[in-house]
Chain A
């Protein structure tokens, strides 16, 4: 089991560029999430999905888009990168039952200049 994998590990973007952060999980979890972590802070939820074809906004969705075409994959799209999107992005997944403990990927560090 690889768990939750994310690519790339690190990326530098210029203002206005677009990119997609990839997230894949092999635990057959229904629920998947995207968080961002700014320096010295806790994580904030961007988007989440309770299954293929179903997505919903979290606390800080502006500037991002997501899609969920399969159980395994949950990509995060940045359309017009801004310096405020400089952050570390974490993808997570969980089962829908029990405590719904979320298991995190290793993170993608994004720098927008």
Chain B
């Protein structure tokens, strides 16, 4: 079975500073993908970034980067230069390729950006 753990229920960050959202995962499948989604107060789920388990480099997408430490089974999201619009819930998710097409989600972290 797959499991995703997000240990930070809520976090504050000052505008323009960087912030790291933690995510640890557990799977016995050697082939898997890790995802981060943003859910603003309006409720939609917005895909941010993807990391494959065999990718050699950490994924980056604009101000988002994924700090992938395979041995520690962690996939932390780093947001650089935080903006007020980054205030939202952030979900880490995993798909193990031998376990069907299910995304397993963590419980989420609420990020609040202070002006």
Contacts and interface: CB of A to CB of B under 8 A. Distances in A.
Interface of A: 31, 33, 35, 40-45, 48, 50, 56, 58-59, 88, 90, 92, 94, 99-107, 109
Interface of B: 4, 33, 35, 37, 43-47, 50, 52, 91, 93, 95, 100-103, 105-108
Nearest to B34: A99
B107 A101 contact: no
Contacts of A104: 37, 44-47
Nearest to A90: B45
A50 B33 CA distance: 18
Given A99-B33, A101-B50, A104-B44, A43 B101 contact: no
Contact of A42 (B44, B52, B108): B108
A105 B100 CA distance: 21
Contacts of A94: 101
B101 A50 contact: yes
A56 B100 CA distance: 10
